[in-house]
Amino acid sequence: MPRTPAAYLLNEAEMEQHLEQVGEWHGGSELVEPFSAVPELVPRTATPLVGLDLARMFENGHELARGRPIGSKTLAETALAIIGVENANGRAIIQHNWGNYSCTPSTWSGPMWQTPTPQQGQPLYFRAYQTHEGGCSAWWRLMYRSHRRALVMAAKGRPDLMVDALYDSHYVVGGSQSGYRRNACLFANQYRRERLFRFRGLSHVGAADMVGAGTLAASLLFVGGLHVKRWLEFR
């Protein structure tokens, strides 16, 4: 895995500030349940990815989760904006956890990390993964299982409606919805300008359409050639 340049890493103060925001987004009391045993905690170690490395892993995670490419450039650019907001444009991915996938005793028995600031009387806990492949594919499975409407809005190129869907499905439960929406729109536009997915993410349907279009074009050229030939013969 390529090493992220030091200039892209968050310093300690920036990371603390970002985690405080994460706590606001995901710190609803209804999502917090007590642990019957001490959880297996790991350090809040940053595992950042940026730029093309972030985009490539985003695609790889989808293929691992779904067995096929993302499907469209628009879906990829817009959905990645969720990671842009949640993980500070890839700079604040912690323990390979994409999208700040939280956990409770009933949903996760593996290692986890916790927020430094208590929310509703106790810290929030988030899953820890050994690799980016594991964390990113888990995020995609979560999205298709529980937040599919957000992906539908992403495929339409509507990051604003995508964020509204995330709040409706309780992916995000607190903080400023307008602020989250604004930042998601900014990241989606940034990824579109950067063309991170310019030559990748073509769906099977898209590929079939291109093959069909090519076949149609070839047929039209063939038929046109026959007409020209007959016209010349009858001149």
Least confident window among 32-41, 92-101, 108-117, 166-175:
32-41
Are residues 187 and 194 in contact, defined by beta-carbon separation less than 8 angstroms?
Answer: no
Residue 100 has pLDDT above 50, yes or no: yes
Phi, psi of 222 (to 5 degrees): -65, -50
| Mean per-residue pLDDT, 2-23 | 73
pLDDT (0 to 100) of residue 55? 97
| pLDDT, greater one: 201 or 40 | 40
Question: At 35, is the pLDDT very low, low, confident or very high (cuts 50, 70, 90)?
Answer: low
Q: What is the mean pLDDT of the chain?
A: 82
For 108-156, give the secondary structure using H, E and C: CCCCEEECCCCECCECCEEECCCCHHHHHHHHHHHHHHHCHHHHHHHHC
Tens digit of each residue's pLDDT (9 = 90 or more) over 112-128: 998 876 555 667 899 99
Give the pLDDT confidence score for residue 208 in this predicted structure: 33
| pTM, two decimal places | 0.79
* Averaged pLDDT, 149-170: 98
Instruction: Name the band, by pLDDT with cuts 50, 70 and 90, for residue 12.
Output: confident
pLDDT of residue 36: 63
Query: Could you tell me the residue ranges of all domains in the chain?
Result: 6-200, 203-235
2-11, 31-40, 90-99, 108-117: range with highest mean pLDDT = 90-99
**Does position 223 have pLDDT exceeding 50, yes or no?**
no
Model confidence at 206: pLDDT above 90: no
Contact 48, 93 (CB under 8 A): yes
Q: Are 150 and 188 in contact (CB under 8 A)?
A: no
The amino acid at residue 172 is V
Quick one: pLDDT band at residue 10, thresholds 50, 70, 90?
confident
